[in-house]
Amino acid sequence: SMTDIYHNSRCSKSRQTLALLEENNITPNIIDYLNEPPSADALKQVLSQLNMNPRELLRKGEAVYKELGLKDTALSDDDLVDAMINNPKLIERPIVIHNGEAKIGRPPESVLSLF
């Protein structure tokens, strides 16, 4: 069955995770999410597959996180999803999705539990 990876080629964890999949004879569909961000619905589905809320997936160290004031707890989940699809660098990476479940490759080995 199909395996997807939300991949950022400039991110070492993302590259390590992709290499680990390939070492295990898994050839994922590579989603270049920085250049082709997911729709709001697609990101909500990934969040549900990760069993995470949007705030947990935010990269809080990114400058745009501060610029947009995203630590404001009054923001709704939809507000945070919109921020991520409009500024995809805010999405934690890499995300591997397989058989309706997803894991973040931090550390890369954690994605192997999907298989």
Which residues are known to be catalytic? 11
Q: Check: CB of residue 85 under 8 Å from CB of residue 39.
A: yes
Long-range own/partner contacts, residues 73-82 (CB < 8 A, 24 or more apart): 77/53, 78/40, 80/54, 80/55, 81/40, 81/43, 81/44, 81/47, 81/54, 82/40
34 burial type by CB count under 10 A (0-12 exposed, 13-18 middle, 19+ buried): middle
Q: Check: CB of residue 83 under 8 Å from CB of residue 62.
A: no
